[in-house]
Structure 1
Amino acid sequence: MKNRILGTTALVVAAVSPFAAFAQTADQVSTQAPAQADVSQVDEIIVTGSYRRSLEEAVDIKRKTVGFSDSIVATDVANFPEQNLAEALQRIPGVTIERNRGLGQRVSVRGLPSEFTFVSINGLATASGSGGRDVEFDIFASEIIQQVTVQKSPRAADEEGGIAGSVNISTARPFDYEGRRVVAAAEGAYNSISEKTDPKLSFLASDTWGDWGALVSFSTARRTNRTDSESGINFRPLTRFLSASGTRGTQAQAVLARDAGVIVQNRANAAETDRIIFQDKVGDRAYLNTQDQWGGSLSLQYRPSAEFSLAFDALIGRYETTEDQYDAAAYSASSRSTLETIHEYDKTTLADYGMVVLRDVSYTATQHEMLSKEQINETDYRQFGTELNWSGDSWKLHALAGYSGAEKTLDYSNLKHVAYAPSRTRWTADGGETIQSANSASIDMYNSPQSYLFEAYETSLEQITDDKYAAQIDFTKYLGLDVFPALTSVQFGARYTDKSKERQYGALNIQGTGPGRVDYLNRPMSQSELTPIGELVPGGAFSIRDLNWSQVSNDYARRTFRYDGFSTPFTPGDYYEVSEKVLSLYAMADLNFDIGPVPVSVNGGARYVDTAITSSGYHQIQNPNGTTGFTPAPISSDGGYDKVLPSLNVTAELTDSLVLRAAASETLIRPALTDLAYKRTASFNSFRFTDGNPNLKPTYAKQWEVGLEQYLGDGGLLAVSYFWKEIEGVVRQALTGAVPNVTKYNANGTIDGVYTFDVYQPINEAGSYEVSGVELVAVVPFGQFYAPLEGFGINANYTVLDSSLTGTSKLGIPTPPVGLADNTYNVTLFYENARFQARASYNFKDKYVEAIGYEMYPIWREGYGQVDLSASYRVTDAIQINLEGINVTDEATKGYTMDPSFPTMYEMSGRRINLGLRMEF
């Protein structure tokens, strides 16, 4: 009999593969049929709250699973230093996270991009409103989650959709516990930059009576985090100035020759001018991110016998975040400006690419900006599902049906004040800076509020509805054939899913007089209510540089410029809807036999996938008679594809403690619903449109893996595996056309000019690419080797990746694919005794390409490592005190373009210290 791995203070986050996509959430039943090497036949596991004991049980799961599995322990209800579910998952071998403002947001497996990872909760594909296949984990409170599995070698019965892997999450059920269980926890979390202390409360109650059981859990938290940043320091090709008509272009050409000795042969030749670089924009920014998050789960379970179980699960929650961004920026590439003096240039660092970088330049008319931005994100998510498990003497039936949905509202505003003046911008060690130039008209951009004029109060509103339905039925027949004794079971099943995304969008800018209001256009910023940056965001002075400036608060902007009756209307031409219906049929078999003295388990099968897609929205039709402008017209299309996906998993027990594993399969990841939509997004500063592509196909992968696992006893493990993937049809952005006669307006409503805009769309790239890697896992309790170290141990993993995948640069610059990191590792040192537990963890993700600027220049996110600490003391059997530290070394998040000497970002989000109390009744 197998029980799910839950307990009073700990749970196992286990990476298992067989049947885990849905069976992990089931209350498995006993059977007289021959046992297969499946997690559903793991012996009963009782977790007592000990970290080491939980590691032992996780290793035991790994050993008894067909296919590749990895395990890690995270404790329930406020006993591990994680801010959300994403950060809880980073301890799993091969799993890393992408951070935003110091908070884990998306999960990637084995260094591959996050969109290659499939996520489900209780067997249902998870909706978060992102529109992509990657899930925004920051909306989920980790306390309501009870078990997580990361699946790396799929079986035919597992839902397809993860080239990197599948993350399967389950919530708790009442029969997971023995009798009544009530647990509550409270903590306060302090951020070192904002100097705010935030509350967090968690509660779980579970009970069973006879054949029935019920469980409820709830978590609520507030997070106030401040991030100080230098960013936006990207490459900009000098084509911006050299291609301009009049004196802007000729002066740039002359200054370049005079000060840098660079002779431009043809100012209209982008192939030449795109390799001469200057700084696009330098910004000093302070962010205040305030999050309110709550989530709850309900489970009702009917289990009249060990052979029958029926469960209903509900998961609901809300995630609200308001991000205030205060930005003092200098836009070097303004439409009024050009080069004045080149103080320093670099012809050597990027000489291999024929590139010259202007490191330190004075400009004639920099666009200085004071920007007060407010982004309000409200996400409501809910999930409801029912699951049936029923078995007889030689068969088992499993069925589930459910719904997962999210509704997201994004309310954005930007109050923009602008001052045009000469200035000097240059790279520094960590970012960039703008200072006064030698020109007598230059200003101190931080202390000249009278020079900044109101230009616009920009608003946009976006509403997204993300709905996913699923139903599945699965039948297993256990066999005992005299003619073929090795064949122990066969399994058949079908699954139907229906996914859709609907999006409404609109924008409205206040550029002058609003109804019943005075005319704000060109009004000096000094006439508004100004607040020093150290008071706009809590925590005092700007921490990155010795700077102080004042600007308008978002609260004042909202009260002043959103006049009575103001609203941002939706634009019909920005609407789109995409639906995807998938029918899957599968069959597989399990075999158990001996090769000499070696027991071997084999699972093989195939899954047939038939997908139908409907995309509807609007496209832009140019106005007749040669006039400028475009009119939206409705459009829709239907498409689809089908595919057979085989899989094979083999396990051989070479000795009592040495296991050989092998796996091979084909799998896919479908394109993001957002990419399939009929939509057009305009980037006027880049002179480009970005369209969707309803004709996209999935990205496919052929993959295999082989590994050895040495079990040491007392929960110890040493494991190594080699994996290989051939990936075909990678989705990337490509230039697919051009639109002439596009009128570009300035923020104040005046016409900047009429231009030809490039059109980019996501496409399936031709050809295939290889990705291979090695994964190492070590779980070593030191006491089994040296008695005085009893209680000490290490839990570590390391993944190294090698890829022939390349990103796309119009200049032919070698570029790895966006999001792929070559090295990741996690190390946790632990100690525990009967009352005290302590852990120190270090997590590292190597550098990776975050984006490709202007489709030419790879922008890198530097390698990032973070130290987290956790300690707990059990005062009594019912009361425990926890102390946790997140990012205790106060690491900065950094980035650069092509070479570290050209930094693009330097962000500090501070340390977070948590003190909590956990009580069990």
Structure 2
Amino acid sequence: MTHRSRSARPFHPRRTYLSRLIEGVLVTGMTTVPFAALAQEAGDAEAQIQQLDSVRVSGTYSRSLEQAVDLKRDNVGFSDSIVATDVADFPEQNLAEALQRMPGVTIERNKGLGARVNVRGLPSDYTHVSINDLATASGSGGREVEFDIFASEIIQQVTVQKSPTAADEEGGIAGSVKISTARPFDYSQRQFVASFEGAHNSISDVVDPKLSFLASDTWGDWGALVSLSSAKRTNRTDATSGINFRPMSRFLGASGVRGSQAEAVIERDTGRQIGNRANTAESNLIVFQDKVGDRVFLNEQDKWGATASLQFRPSRDFSLSFDALVGGYDTTEDEYDAAAYSASSRSTLETIHEYDASTLADYGILVLRDVSYTATQHEFLSKERLGETDFRQYSAALDWRAGSWTVDALLGYSGARKTLDYANLKHVAYAPSRTRWTGRSGETIPSASSAGFDMYASPERYLFEAYETTREHVSDDKYAAQVNVGRTLDLAFLPALRDVQFGARHTDKSKERQYGEAKIGGPAAGDNRWVNSRTMADSALRPIRDIVPGGAYTARDLDWQMISNAYARDTFRYAGFATPFDDAQYYRVDERTTALYAMANLGFDLGRVPVTVNGGVRYVDTSVTSFGYHPMQNPDGSTGYTDAPVSMDGDYSDVLPSLNLSAELRDGLLLRAAASETLIRPAMTDIAYKRTASWSSYRFTDGNPALEPTYAKQWEVGLEQYLDNGGLLAASYFRKNIDGVVINALTGVVPDVPVYNANGTLNGIYDFDVYQPVNAAGSYEVDGIELIAQLPLSAVHSSLDGFGINANYTMLDSSLAGESALGIQTPMPGLAEKTWNLTAYYENARFDARVSYNHKSEYVESIGYNMYPIYRDGYGQLDVSIGVRLSDNVKLSLKGINMTDEATTGYTMDPSFPTMYELSGRRISLGLRADF
């Protein structure tokens, strides 16, 4: 069977529609797919499966939708699935983008690329991800999986489980994403499949290649499979951004002339009287632009992934499999940034040309829209980010059926290694300047002051400040062992009890992080001769349109000259330079979890209605040990760290019940209900025993090993109408009561902390707030509805044969509040209230075409300075795909991503205060696929 669920799925002998995936092929983007067989009405479901012939058919999009419907119907709880063809015939750049068309699933985009997955609008770290039943390491600082490291071509099937059973590994408040790769006995015969694709980005004007292949064969009781996908991606993004609110405490709290002049200018130009300029409760309600930046990003990716599977299956009742998934994801991102930092430590207000006291009057906030500053810090930044991620996962699985007993077991390892190398070449010029909001972002223009200048055309005014470097290495390892035992029952005194299942799982997870930073100030170690003496004009300059491929800057009618990152690396890194790791930034978190569960499946009739019930309970025991350099107070009052790593322990145990019920009210109409309690563990960075400093924000952030999980008590009820032509109409209502949400809270103050400028001079002595992640008091509610319509239109009229639609809509209502220290009520960051997807398609034996539009409503991306909600605007993307089968074995496809060239935009609190305008362009690809 292609669908290898590790949890029992109850069945009822009176069901007349039993679809199973038999001897199929599921290699994304390259090959045919499993055949969804319609079994005849009979008594025993397993006997029905064995009576079916193995049939190999060509994969089509409508066929994949039917298979996904079969999986949804047969699953014990609420779920949705996609299979390989569903992914293959859509344009996508990684696995995240392949999932975005599933009901309730949205993605977070980063410079035009899908990066993380949200289920039902909840943040990505509320989603549990597993590959071949093994929870997946990613190398990130949290628990969320970075889907952009996975090539979708190596994936066989994905199921999003929205209501858990006791047998499912805990960890998904939003849901669990279960990914499967292929095994050799999924195929009825020998397979070799290959595909090649070239993709063009409209801004970078570069063509990127992608190559995939799969080979699989079986001989007797043995089978082997290998697959490989390799892709390059070059994407350019042009953006104006960084235009966030900055509280006026930046200037009003300054000593001497800077603070008094800011007070006088505000009172003179706005009429707002300042009672006590040192009172942040007052100054935080007056805001100005933090920075305006014109930025060009060039992101180059080299990604590969491979799977291998060795399988021994002497009979249908026994299978032993070894599966491997390995891959690499290397990125180089160049960022060229011309920015004006209004909140310069040397500056203050000169003239307020325009202010807004009405838009945010309900919060008492005065916004300075257009301001001249006395000494803006103009910056030209050449930034380079190098990232290397190596991923590997190995597992051995046993599936055995002996009479009425079933046993499956798993031993597995998942690991990721991530290395990040960052550099920032910084040149600065201080001068009067005028910064203001424009229609879609912001701009900086010369000040009326005689000392003002054109920031984009004066490289001789910019002095070298530093060549800053950081280096980070993360190791993420997880080991797991589990065993599940099931027993089919036929009890005369309790005929409704069909089977019981129980099992155990132990996992051992460890995440270690090393970090360091260094600044270069001259041609040798300890030499700072370049600081404030070398200018930009002393380096090789090139127009921005020539440094990156694709020509002129597209976000504005603007051009400027920059220092390329290649030149910066060759020129400013002296021989033998390496960024050292800082012991004080080290941490390691070890987590051990043991889980036991028991559940039962029942089937009975209520009158003429067949009912199935799955109920169970899961016990989880977790212990945590966190190592790091603990912050301490020195005798002189300054803050420091312990000389050696110290550790702190934490532990918790939980009992998590679950119940899933379905009733077939009439043939094809299913009433489904579910209730459960689940959890998501805190991010590893949150429980790490360490302290990090934000010098510009005057705050320390400490880890908290004593954090407990976030819990959810949830229930859902829905109706699902399965149509004879493979269609589906479904509606459900769900509610989640969430406790222990992790928020950052002020837990202390460190007085008299010295802060230094980049050139080593003292900026000032400040009191630093100490923030820690804590479990928030109280409960929060998320409820919503989910609608699904999958309709082959041939049912409407025979002339529409081959046409169809696949649509879904999710709407949320949430009491989850943001963390604004000003008491501004906002949704939880990352939570979108409305998402919908619509795909219209046509296909016949030789031709297919699809048009897909997906939309995610606006959501809070972050909360600036813990006070001002920053929103990401609603985003909609139109994708298209056209395929022509040149022969029975060869298909040509043309695909397009973001055909409307949608911009990514955002704002702070109100759309009249835009924060970003980002263009990543269209992507057109032409591909050829052959299978034999």
Normalised by the length of structure 2, the TM-score is: 0.95
Residue 833 of structure 2: aligned partner: 822
**How many Å separate the matches in 1 of 2:436 and 2:51?**
64
Per the alignment, residue 738 of structure 1 pairs with: 749
Partner of residue 72 from structure 2, selected from 19, 40, 62: 62
Residue deviations 1:439-498 (CA, integer Å, cap 9, x gap): 010010000000000000000100000000100000000000011000000001000001
Counterpart in 1 of 2:795? 784
Deviations 1:626-683 (A, max 9, x none): 4676665532111100000000000000000211000000000000111110122211
Decide whether the 8 Å contact of 1:375 with 1:413 is kept in 2: yes
Partners of 1:817 and 1:595 in 2: how far apart? 42
Q: Give the CA deviation at 1:59.
A: 1.4
Match of 1:794?
805
Unmatched segments (≥5 aa) in structure 1: 14-23, 25-31
Distance of 1:289 and 1:42 partners within structure 2: 50
For 2:480, what is the secondary structure of its paired residue? strand
User: 442-451 or 616-625: which moved more?
Assistant: 616-625
Match of residue 770, structure 1, among 781, 792, 813: 781
| Cα distance in 2 for residues equivalent to 1:626 and 1:568 | 30
Does residue 430 of the first structure (1) align with residue 436 of the second (2)?
Answer: no
In structure 2, the partner of 1:550 is 561
Provide the rounded CA distance (Å) in 1 between the counterparts of 2:487 and 2:242.
60
Whether 1:350 and 2:360 are equivalent positions in the alignment is: yes
Instruction: Give the deviation of 1:75 after TM superposition.
Output: 2.1
Aligned residues of 1:33 and 1:478 also touching (Cα < 8 A):
no
1:525 matched to which residue of 2? 536
Q: Which residue of 2 aligns with 1:17?
A: none
Mapped contact 1:128–1:135 kept (Cα < 8 A): yes
Q: SS in structure 2 opposite 1:648?
A: strand
Please tell me whether the aligned partners of residues 728 and 791 of structure 2 are also in contact (alpha carbons under 8 angstroms). Answer: yes
User: What does residue 915 of structure 1 align with?
Assistant: 926
Among 402, 413, 419, the residue aligned to 2:412: 402
Q: Hey, what does 1:114 align to over in structure 2?
A: 124
SS at match of 1:762: strand
Question: Residues 82 and 159 of structure 2 are in contact (CA less than 8 Å); yes or no, is this contact kept in structure 1?
Answer: no
AA partner of residue 102 (structure 1): G
- Tell me the SS of whatever aligns to 1:852: strand
Question: Are positions 1:245 and 2:281 aligned together?
Answer: no
How much does 1:11 deviate? 6.4
CA contact (8 A) 2:482 2:506 kept: yes
How far apart are residue 39 of structure 1 and its match? 12
1:531 Cα shift? 1.2
In the other structure, the counterpart of 2:506 is 496
Letter in 2 for 1:700: Y
How far off its partner does 1:827 sit?
A: 0.6
Distance 1:219 1:467, change over 3 A: same
Which digits, 9 at most, give the CA deviation of each residue in 1:114-142, with x for residues without a partner?
11000000111101101312100000011
Matching residue's letter, 2:623:
A
Match of 1:136 in 2: 146
1:320 aligns with 2:335: no
Structure-2 residue corresponding to 1:683: 694
1:877 aligns with 2:907: no
**Contact 2:65–2:86 (Cα < 8 Å) also in 1:** no
Check if 1:378 corresponds to 2:423. Answer: no
Structure 2 counterpart of 1:89: 99
Q: Does residue 1:226 correspond to 2:236, yes or no?
A: yes
CA distance in 1, matches of 2:47, 2:868: 50
Partners of 1:61 and 1:552 in 2: CA distance: 55
CA contact (8 A) 2:94 2:147 kept: yes
1:290-342, CA deviations, whole angstroms, 9 ceiling, x for partnerless residues? 00000100000000011100000010000000100000000000010000000
**What secondary structure, in the 3-state scheme, does the structure 2 residue paired with 1:398 have?**
strand
**One-letter identity of the residue aligned with 2:126:** F
Secondary structure of the equivalent of 2:492? Answer: coil
| Secondary structure at 2:883 match in 1 | strand
Alignment of 1:147-162 (within 5 A): 147-162=157-172
Q: How does 1:137-286 map to 2 (within 5 A)?
A: 137-286=147-296
Contact 1:611 1:640 (8 Å CA) reproduced: yes
Once the 2 structures are TM-superposed, how far is the Cα of residue 737 of structure 1 from its aligned partner?
A: 1.0
Give the secondary structure class of the aligned counterpart of 2:666.
Answer: coil
* TM value normalised by structure 1: 0.96
Conserved 8 A contact 2:29-2:89: no
Take 1:41 and 1:440, find their aligned partners in 2: how far apart are those partners? 90
Change in CA separation of 1:883 and 1:575 when aligned onto 2, cut-off 3 Å = same
SS at match of 2:239: strand
Secondary structure at the residue paired with 1:265?
Answer: coil
RMSD (Å), alpha carbons? 2.1
**Equivalent residue in structure 1 for 2:576, among 565, 569, 572:** 565
Alpha-carbon contact 1:513-1:521 (below 8 Å) kept = no
1:561-609 CA distance string (max 9 Å, x none): 1100000011111111001100000000000000000000000000000
Q: Distance in 2 between matches of 1:339 and 1:632?
A: 44
Seen in structure 2, the aligned counterparts of structure 1 residues 393 and 846 have a Cα distance that, compared at 3 Å, is same
Q: Does the 8 Å CA contact 1:81/1:886 hold for their aligned counterparts?
A: yes
- Distance in 1, matches of 2:126 and 2:271, equals 47
Match of 2:599 in 1: 588
Is it true that 1:507 corresponds to 2:517 in the alignment?
Answer: yes
- Aligned equivalent of 1:834: 845
* Identity value in percent: 68
Q: Which residue of 1 aligns with 2:38?
A: none
Name the stretch that deviates more: 41-50 or 130-139. 41-50
Output the amino acid matched with 1:190. Answer: H
Deviations 1:853-889 (A, max 9, x none): 0010000011111011111111001110010000111
Supply the distance in 2 between the matched residues of 1:419 and 1:185 (Cα, whole angstroms). Answer: 52
Distance in 1, Cα, partners of 2:791 & 2:213: 33
Summarize deviations over 1:786-814 as a string: whole Å, max 9, x none: 11111101000000000111112111111
Q: Aligned pair in 2 of structure 1 residues 518, 132: CA closer, same or farther (>3 Å)?
A: closer
CA distance in 1, matches of 2:724, 2:219: 38
**Paired residues of 1:11 and 1:54 also in contact (CA < 8 A):** no
SS at match of 1:75: helix
State the 1:66 CA deviation: 2.2
1:654 and 2:665 aligned:
yes
* Unaligned ranges ≥5, structure 2: 5-20, 35-41
1:657 and 1:729 mapped to 2: Cα distance? 40
Change (3 A) 1:516 1:365: closer
- Paired with 1:56 and 1:455, the residues of 2 have a C-alpha distance of 61
Tell me if structure 1 keeps the 8 A contact 2:323–2:395.
Answer: yes
Task: Tell me the residue number matched to 1:20.
Answer: none
Contact kept in structure 2, 1:2 and 1:44, CA below 8 Å:
no
Distance (whole Å) between structure 2 residues aligned to residue 630 and residue 582 of structure 1 = 30
Aligned 8 A contact 1:605 1:648 in 2: yes
Q: 1:307/1:238 Cα in 2 relative to 1: closer, same or farther (>3 Å)?
A: same
User: Is 1:98–1:106's contact at 8 Å kept on the other side of the alignment?
Assistant: yes
